[in-house]
A and B are shown apart, each in its own frame.
Chain A
Amino acid sequence: EVQLLESGGGLVQPGGSLRLSCAASGFTFSSYAMSWVRQAPGKGLEWVSGIYGSGDSTYNADSVKGRFTISRDNSKNTLFLQMNSLRAEDTAIYYCAKDPRGSMQGYFDYWGQGALVTVSS
């Protein structure tokens, strides 16, 4: 059974940093691309970042470019999102999502339960 478990969310001040993790199990992690998708409170879905199964290529939304970095450790079956220079508008539930292909097909067949990030002073 595919499982994705996010951790690392919390309250952070504007300008601060936070690192999210997503522990994956139930599939061959290195064979599949992964993404982070966020959802502001009461709002819709926004794709944030994606990474190939190999980790060789990454893609980011313009809204987070230069501030967020996606990475993965295939030896530990874990996906990461390093978030720097956080803004109030980054407040959201951050979902880890699995792609059905190694090189980012672009849709998501499994999602984690999400980690809440709140940016506030």
Chain B
Amino acid sequence: DIVMTQSPDSLAVSLGERATINCKSSQSVLYSSNSENYLAWYQQQPGQPPKLLIYWASTRESGVPDRFSGSGSGTDFTLTISSLQAEDVAVYYCQQYYSTPYTFGQGTKLEIK
């Protein structure tokens, strides 16, 4: 199984500042035949189901604000929130879909400083 490890486990950022969450996979999730990284990011607000933010490592889902961006390739990925808003308080998860079983990172809790 591919193990996904996020850092940090929790993060406190001031409103309007940048938040950065890292995700590392135990093996590459870059599929050579199509040069795509099989990596997604989700946001889970308290008491809610997860919401898809990013797929293919850097493609923003429709309706997701452009302050959210994803980057990285191979085994190392980053989710960046360029200017933190109050509604961004949530737990963020990365997920690989390169192979089954699909696996998630342990989550990063983002709070307001």
- A contact residues vs B (CB 8 Å cutoff): 35, 37, 44-47, 50, 59, 61-62, 95, 100, 105-114
Those 5 A-B pairs whose CB atoms lie nearest each other, nearest first: A106-B97, A111-B49, A107-B40, A47-B102, A45-B104
Give Cα A11 to B36, complex, Å: 42
* Residues of chain B lying within 8 A (CB to CB) of residue A35: 102
Q: Is there a chain A Cβ closer than 8 Å to B30's Cβ? A: no
* Residues of chain A lying within 8 A (CB to CB) of residue B93: 44-45
Give Cα A112 to B38, complex, Å: 23
* Residues of chain B lying within 8 A (CB to CB) of residue A114: 49
Report yes or no: A44 in contact with B107, Cβ–Cβ below 8 A.
yes
Report yes or no: B52 in contact with A44, Cβ–Cβ below 8 A.
no
Most chain B beta-carbon contacts within 10 A, residue among A47, A112, A114: A47
Report yes or no: A106 in contact with B38, Cβ–Cβ below 8 A.
yes
Q: Is the interface of A mostly helix, strand, loop or mixed?
A: loop
* Residues of chain A lying within 8 A (CB to CB) of residue B106: 44
Give Cα A23 to B89, complex, Å: 30
Q: Is there a chain A Cβ closer than 8 Å to B100's Cβ? A: yes
* Residues of chain B lying within 8 A (CB to CB) of residue A45: 42, 50, 93, 95, 104, 107
Most chain B beta-carbon contacts within 10 A, residue among A45, A105, A114: A45
Report yes or no: B101 in contact with A107, Cβ–Cβ below 8 A.
no
Report yes or no: B97 in contact with A105, Cβ–Cβ below 8 A.
yes
Contacts A59-B100, A109-B61, A112-B49 aside, 9 further interface pairs with beta carbons under 8 A come to A37-B50, A44-B105, A44-B107, A45-B42, A47-B101, A50-B100, A59-B101, A95-B49, A106-B98
Give Cα A119 to B12, complex, Å: 35
* Residues of chain B lying within 8 A (CB to CB) of residue A95: 49-50
* Residues of chain A lying within 8 A (CB to CB) of residue B102: 35, 47, 50, 106-107
Task: From A47, A105, A108, A113, give the contact of B103 (CB < 8 A).
Answer: A47
Chain B's nearest CB lies how many Å from the CB of A7? 15
* Residues of chain A lying within 8 A (CB to CB) of residue B95: 45, 107
